[in-house]
């Protein structure tokens, strides 16, 4: 003979009343009236043919039969509760559209491999990514390189962005390496033109405790960080590159860091989103996934000792 749903409910109320020492507290815990809780336990006692509680005006205590039932049903009730939670989680499937906005500069180099990994893990999520230099207000989750976004979004810092002057070994062999910032004037340099303003970004240097900006004359100026990195690797000039672009070529020997005592670390990569309680499961899962893989990931920036060693 099976156990009816109302019997499971009555057993649950019985267990909570035994744990809390009060039918009234058990009723509040289960979201029912005290009368309903009392009736459920009385029906359970009637069906079992034994009294489960000694009832007084001040105290509720278990009878011997009640204690025996409690010891028997608690483990089974825990298993049942776990099974029901699993069923609810499977119903709350990670699925649906997910709009992500990110700048091109970090989109392909830093984020794209993790987007692919997330898409493979959660095939029922339709990942719609926009690589643009303009912040997309309609995105569920955004990434930004620079300063934290304003406008009420929650922002979490993931990675520092170091600006590193570097050149290829071939360039250094032909033209030498600058030993000071002023010596850059005698070299061919590359530049980056910001897509949102159309202006060439100044180079920045840490001098003492201050960050100093310099307008460097450039022989080649582009609005794509991948193209600038490729030009520097090809030996066309010296560039000041973000660590997310420079780190792999430096570690592989394609680029040599220069003037490392002046490397700045003013900006960072941020993930931003609306308040977590407003987010569906697919969005919360994606945020946790990206934070776990990117926050403090040494694949995208240098420790000071590593920069000095690579010099």
For the chain, the domains span 5-91, 97-310
Q: What is the pLDDT of residue 214?
A: 94
What fold does the segment set 5-91 form as a domain?
Arc Repressor Mutant, subunit A (1.10.10)
Interaxial angle between packed helices 281-294 and 112-121, expressed in degrees from 0 to 180 and rounded to the nearest 10: 130
Q: What is the pLDDT of residue 1?
A: 42
In three state form, how does the secondary structure of the chain look?
CCCCHHHHHHHHHHHHHHHHCCHHHHHHHHCCCHHHHHHHHHHHHHHHCCCCEEECCCCEEECHHHHHHHHHHHHHHHHHHHHHHHHHHHHCCCCEEEEEEECHHHHHHHHHHHHHHHHHHCCCEEEEEEECCCCCCCCCEEEEEECCCCCCCEEEEEEEEEEEEEECHHHHHHHCCCCCCHHHHHCCEEEEECCCCCCECCEEEEECCEEEEECCCCCEEECCHHHHHHHHHCCCCEEEEEHHHHHHHHHHCCCEEECHHHCEEEEEEEEEECCHHHCCHHHHHHHHHHHHHHCCCHHHCCCHHHHHHHC
Answer yes or no: pTM beyond 0.85: no
Q: What is the pLDDT of residue 174?
A: 96
- Per-residue tens of pLDDT for the chain, all 311 residues: 445 567 888 888 988 888 888 888 888 888 888 898 889 888 888 888 889 888 876 778 889 898 998 888 888 888 877 766 655 554 457 899 999 999 888 988 899 999 999 999 999 999 888 776 555 567 889 998 888 777 667 889 999 999 999 999 999 999 999 999 999 999 999 999 887 788 899 999 999 999 999 999 999 999 889 999 999 999 999 999 999 999 999 999 999 999 999 999 999 999 998 876 668 889 999 999 999 999 999 999 998 888 777 66
What fold does the segment set 97-310 form as a domain?
D-Maltodextrin-Binding Protein; domain 2 (3.40.190)
């Amino acid at each position: 003979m099976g156990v009816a749903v109302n019997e499971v409910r009555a057993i649950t109320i019985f267990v909570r009343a035994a744990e809390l020492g009060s039918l009234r507290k058990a009723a509040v815990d289960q979201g029912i009236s005290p009368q309903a809780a009392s009736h459920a336990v009385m029906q359970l006692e009637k069906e079992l043919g034994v009294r489960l509680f000694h009832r007084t005006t001040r105290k509720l205590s278990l009878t011997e039969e009640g204690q025996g039932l409690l010891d028997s049903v608690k483990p089974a009730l825990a298993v049942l509760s776990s099974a029901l939670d699993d069923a609810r989680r499977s119903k709350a499937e990670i699925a649906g559209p997910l709009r992500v906005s990110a700048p091109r500069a970090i989109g392909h180099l830093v984020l794209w491999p993790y987007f692919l990994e997330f898409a493979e893990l959660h095939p029922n999520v339709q990942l719609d990514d926009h690589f643009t230099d303009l912040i997309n207000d309609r995105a569920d989750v955004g990434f930004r390189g620079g300063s934290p976004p304003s406008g009420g979004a929650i922002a979490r810092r993931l990675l520092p962005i170091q600006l590193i002057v570097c050149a290829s070994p071939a360039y250094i062999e032909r033209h030498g390496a600058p030993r000071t910032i002023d010596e850059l004037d005698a070299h061919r340099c590359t530049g980056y033109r910001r897509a949102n303003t159309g202006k060439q970004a100044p180079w920045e240097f840490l001098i003492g405790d201050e960050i100093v900006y310099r307008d460097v004359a450039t022989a080649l100026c582009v609005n794509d960080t991948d193209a600038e990195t490729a030009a520097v690797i090809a030996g066309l000039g010296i560039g000041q590159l973000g660590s997310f672009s420079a780190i792999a070529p430096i570690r592989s020997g394609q680029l040599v860091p220069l003037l490392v005592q002046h490397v700045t670390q003013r900006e960072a990569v941020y993930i931003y989103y609306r308040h977590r309680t407003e987010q569906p499961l697919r969005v919360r899962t994606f945020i946790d996934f990206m934070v776990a893989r990117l926050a403090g990931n040494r694949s995208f920036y240098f420790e000071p000792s590593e920069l000095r060693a690579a010099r």
